[in-house]
Amino acid sequence: MARIVMKFGGTSVADINRIRNVARHVKREVDAGHEVAVVVSAMSGKTNELVAWCREASPMHDAREYDAVVASGEQVTAGLLAITLQGMGVHARSWQGWQIPIKTDNAHGAARIQEIDGSFLAKRFGEGQVAVIAGFQGLAPDNRIATLGRGGSDTSAVAIAAAVKADRCDIYTDVDGVYTTDPRIEPKARRLAKISFEEMLEMASLGAKVLQVRSVELAMVHKVRTFVRSSFEDPDAPGMGDFENPPGTLICDEDEILEQQVVTGIAYAKDEAQISLRRVADRPGVAAGIFGPLAEANINVDMIVQNISEDGSRTDMTFTVPSADVAKAVAVLEKNKDQVGFDALQHDEGMAKVSVIGIGMRSHAGVAAIAFKALADRGINIRAITTSEIKISILIDAAYTELAVRTLHSVYGLDKQ
Ligand code: ADP
Ligand code: ASP
Ligand code: MG
């Protein structure tokens, strides 16, 4: 007997038929004698609708009320799945974040889980009950419901798996694993049998939304054996209940991966914007003068490029922010114009960041040069570059995103044979 946390995303619970299919996956594991807890997302499209209603009600809405509204989607699915499981003769009960409780910090709308006392769920396991838990939500210190940021049900699932010391956390979604790139953009993408925590962390941070970044961090820290797998397959097909080797992608330590490729995957993020400050004074403190106020305004600055100054006194500073934050960033910079001292400010929305990820880069030279040449051959202009030990990120015009992803996917030999 093992203990398994099963998480089902929005498309997996999009209607009652799909919820029935999900219930069959759950029943399979229960019938095999395992202790099971389930985490569910809202039905596909529901959270977007709720977010849009908040914006329509007031663009400057209170984050605590946003949470009260958007957390409701998960409550519905948890109840519906519990009803469906009961109808199949499975002893199931729905639970919301505050009932367990899943304690978070006070950052409404983007809260972090701080503590889950596993004893509540241990009791449910003891009673032979399948707890069906609403993902994406918890209880903040102000005694109000808090949500974990978009895609947060993944994080709920991994955090719960860590709290109850589950043997496995299965993230069921609409693809059958983690691919070398988004299979919706590149049909030649290959499914990976395994991917290291570090690479998955980069993939997720750089745009692959198959797992929320925080869920990968938690899986890495708490050593949660996490699989990404499909909910759409026949729950009773051969091998679906295989405990050691379920179908899907295992996120694991790098030593568990025998054949490490130089490049493991390509990720992309659209909706990036570029801001350039022209002729900024080239003196100590200038970067702090620009990026300090942006940080205070909670604007996430990503790539930063500072040119060499021509005359030793003035330089250009270029950086990226999420498109949604451009207006706010420009306002902050204009307000601080005298203090920073720049001649002109230009901004360009509609950028995309394409990234090449692979642990093998640590020990291989020339990986970046291959990307630059491949993009040049396609006439794709590079606007900015950043690198780390295991990734290269390149800023381009968003119109070329698909072409760039496919080009890089192919040039690093990732295409399906
Ligand atoms: P869920 O609703 O189940 O949480 P998401 O839509 O959040 O599902 O995540 C699954 C989606 O992630 C897939 O449909 C796929 O388009 C996208 N995706 C992006 N990059 C990858 C990748 N490298 N491998 C697999 N899926 C990816
Ligand atoms: N329903 C939430 C969202 O759409 C959480 C999730 O799906 O993980 O962001
Ligand atoms: Mg998701």
Among candidate residues 12, 6, 13, the one with its CA nearest the CA of residue 32: 6
What is the 292 CA–ligand 2 centroid distance (Å)?
31
Q: Give the 3-state secondary structure of residue 252.
A: strand
pLDDT at 275: 96
Q: Encoding tokens for residue 60?
A: 């400057």
Q: Encoding tokens for residue 180?
A: 């070398």
Any atom of ligand 1 within 6 Å of the Cβ of 41: yes
Judged by its nearest atom, the ligand closest to the C-alpha of residue 172 is 1
Q: Which residue do the tokens 């849009």 mark?
A: 52
Any atom of ligand 1 within 6 Å of the Cβ of 362: no
Residues 6+ apart with CB under 8 A from 51: 66, 70
Examine the pLDDT at 320 and tell me if it is beyond 90.
Answer: yes
pLDDT at 314: 87
Among candidate residues 34, 6, 22, 12, the one with its CA nearest the CA of residue 243: 34
The DSSP line for 233-244 is S-TTSTTTT-SS
Identity of residue 253: D
What is the 285 CA–ligand 1 centroid distance (Å)?
41
Cis status, amide bond into 101, omega within 30 of 0: yes
The pTM assigned to this predicted structure is: 0.94
Distance CA 22, CA 200 (A): 25
Q: Which of 47, 173, 186, 391 to mutate to test the pocket of ligand 1 (most atoms within 8 A of CB)?
A: 173
pLDDT tens per residue across span 139-165? 999 999 999 999 999 999 999 999 999
Identity of residue 347: H
pLDDT tens per residue across span 255-272? 998 877 899 999 999 999
What's the Cα-to-Cα distance from 385 to each of 126, 249, 253, rounded to whole Å? Answer: 53, 30, 28
Distance CA 250, CA 167 (A): 13
What is the 208 CA–ligand 1 centroid distance (Å)?
7
pLDDT tens per residue across span 353-394? 999 999 999 989 899 999 999 999 999 999 999 999 999 999
Residue 88 has φ and ψ, to the nearest 5°, of -95, 5
Residue 59 has φ and ψ, to the nearest 5°, of -60, -25
pLDDT tens per residue across span 168-222? 999 999 999 999 999 999 999 999 999 999 999 999 999 999 999 999 999 999 9
Judged by its nearest atom, the ligand closest to the C-alpha of residue 46 is 2
Residues 6+ apart with CB under 8 A from 20: 84
Among candidate residues 351, 348, 340, the one with its CA nearest the CA of residue 316: 340
- Say if CB 12 and CB 235 are below 8 A apart: no
Identity of residue 327: A
Q: Give the closest residue (by CA) to ligand 2 atom 9.
A: 150
pLDDT confidence bin for 84, thresholds 50/70/90: very high
Provide mean pLDDT across the span 240-253: 94
Judged by its nearest atom, the ligand closest to the C-alpha of residue 152 is 2
Q: Going from the N-terminus, what domains does the chain have, and what CATH number goes with each?
A: 3-255 (3.40.1160.10), 265-411 (3.30.2130.10)
What is the 75 CA–ligand 1 centroid distance (Å)?
22
What is the 242 CA–ligand 1 centroid distance (Å)?
23
Q: Give the 3-state secondary structure of residue 377.
A: helix
Output the average pLDDT for the chain.
Answer: 95
Any atom of ligand 2 within 6 Å of the Cβ of 181: no
pLDDT tens per residue across span 296-318? 998 999 999 888 877 778 889 99
